[in-house]
Amino acid sequence: MKIATIVGARPNFIKLAPVSKQIRERDIDEVIVHTGQHYNYEMDRIFFDQMGIAAPDYHLGIGSGSHAFQTGEMLKKIEEVLQKEEPDAVIVFGDTNSTLAGGLAAAKLHIKCAHVEAGLRSFDKRMPEEINRVLVDHCSDLLLCPTQTAVDNLKREGIVENVHLTGDVMVDAQKDCERIAQSESHIIESLGLEIGDYYLATVHRASNTDDPQNLRAIAQALLELDDVVFPCHPRAEKCLREFGLWEDVSRKVRVIKPVGYLDMLVLEKNARKIVTDSGGVQKEAYLLGIPCITLRESTEWTETVDDGWNILVPPGEDIASAIREFQPRHERQDVFGKGRANAMIVDLVERLAGPGGS
């Protein structure tokens, strides 16, 4: 049996790690296809190195570009790989352009496709990721849902066959890496941080970085806080410089390069609060029990908001006050499962890829 796993960006790599580990433990032939959507070391290779993921069998080198350019180029090159390798099934992860291209390529070639993290909805179609989620779910053969909410979302759209509640594979990734991170990461010491005494901020979403008004509001909020650690995404740095905000931010805020998964886990776990526009970081914050302030109008991880550990604060609101004042009022619920989602996922993909699989 041969399974092709298609990835291209940081969130994909994190979800791939526990699934790939399970595939290889079963001696299934895995072909890793890396689109090159994220391509510098801090956003790419470090995750393979730290999380023990095998080197990609194919690196397509797509790089940056518009959504149409990225998706089109990926679709062409992924199709070529799938035609050459003839896998029994394809696995795609999350909601990136790499996810959409992989799902479309598999569907066009009539190769069974499994979508890990199916059923998420922010109900905001201004988000490119929302378009990707909906389209991939509707062209996939196996829908692997992290939460009951995701299952319910699919049911409302008429998708009820081959839908499975697996729990969240990021619980597996976090469990696998948290112990390693504690011994191997020295980022707290190297940055001279006091545990529980700093804010951790990440900003990368185009609706924030590319909008001068939104980015200025976010930058101002970070300037009003004490001791902010800001792993700066390349897009955010480019726009901060372009809009004349870089000098003030880099002088007052502790700006660092993007970090690998192990360092990020340690930074998240020891932060006072997390400020982000990332979907993955929202969930990591929840799993680690750190209050999260999300700089968006909507989220696909509605459970974190419903459970009172995450709040949505669009850039038009008073961000700094919201960050200071927000505090969860009760213990977290167990909404993402207890782990071992990776084993269930590979069980289901094996069934899909086998003779007469469905």
Q: What averages of pLDDT result for each successive group of 10 residues across the chain (358 residues)?
A: 94 94 96 81 70 92 87 97 98 96 98 98 94 98 97 98 96 89 91 97 95 97 96 95 97 94 95 96 96 96 96 94 96 90 97 82
Q: What's the confidence (pLDDT) of residue 358? A: 65
Sign of CA dihedral 31, 36, 42, 43: negative
Cα 346 to Cα 7: distance, rounded to the nearest angstrom: 17
Q: What's the confidence (pLDDT) of residue 50? A: 83
DSSP string covering 25-80: HTT-EEEEEE--SS-SGGGTHHHHHHHTPPPPSEE----S--HHHHHHHHHHHHHH
CA 160, 155, 113: angle at the middle one, nearest 5? 50
Tens of pLDDT, residue by residue over 127-138, are 999 999 999 999
Q: What's the confidence (pLDDT) of residue 37? A: 73
Q: What's the confidence (pLDDT) of residue 47? A: 79
Question: What is the largest distance, in Å, between two alpha-carbon atoms of the chain?
Answer: 61
Point out which residues pair with 294 in neighbouring strands: 276, 312
* Residue indicated by tokens 């990332």: 278
Cα 11 to Cα 66: distance, rounded to the nearest angstrom: 19
Task: Fill in the DSSP letter of residue 333.
Answer: P
- Helix residue spans in the chain (DSSP H): 10-25, 45-51, 67-85, 97-108, 128-139, 148-156, 169-184, 187-191, 206-209, 212-224, 234-242, 246-252, 261-269, 279-288, 302-306, 319-325, 341-353
Residue ranges, comma separated, of all CATH 3.40.50.2000 domains in the chain are 2-168+338-353, 176-325
Q: What is the CATH number of domain 2-168+338-353?
A: 3.40.50.2000
* Residue indicated by tokens 């801090």: 42
Neighbour tally for 30: CB within 10 Å: 20
For the beta sheet containing 112-116, the strands, ordered from the edge strand earlier in sequence to the opposite edge, are: 58-59, 29-34, 2-7, 89-93, 112-116, 142-145, 163-165
Q: What's the confidence (pLDDT) of residue 77? A: 97
- What is the three-class DSSP state of 9? coil
pTM > 0.75 = yes
Tens of pLDDT, residue by residue over 203-244, are 999 999 999 999 999 999 999 999 999 999 999 999 999 999
Point out which residues pair with 4 in neighbouring strands: 31, 90
Both structure tokens of 275: 């400020």
DSSP string covering 163-196: EEE---HHHHHHHHHHHHHHHH--HHHHHTPPTT
CA 116, 337, 269: angle at the middle one, nearest 5? 95
Both structure tokens of 38: 């994220």
Residue 38 among the catalytic residues:
no
* Residue indicated by tokens 């190769």: 111
Cα 197 to Cα 184: distance, rounded to the nearest angstrom: 22
Q: What's the confidence (pLDDT) of residue 150? A: 97
The CATH architecture of the domain made up of 176-325 is 3-Layer(aba) Sandwich (3.40)
Active-site entry in 34, 38, 115, 204: 204
Neighbour tally for 220: CB within 10 Å: 15
Look at residues 7, 11, 8, 66 and name the one whose alpha carbon lies nearest to residue 206. 66
Q: What's the confidence (pLDDT) of residue 40? A: 53
Tens of pLDDT, residue by residue over 16-51, are 999 999 999 999 999 999 998 765 545 567 778 888
Q: What's the confidence (pLDDT) of residue 137? A: 98
Both structure tokens of 19: 């699934």
Cα 152 to Cα 160: distance, rounded to the nearest angstrom: 9
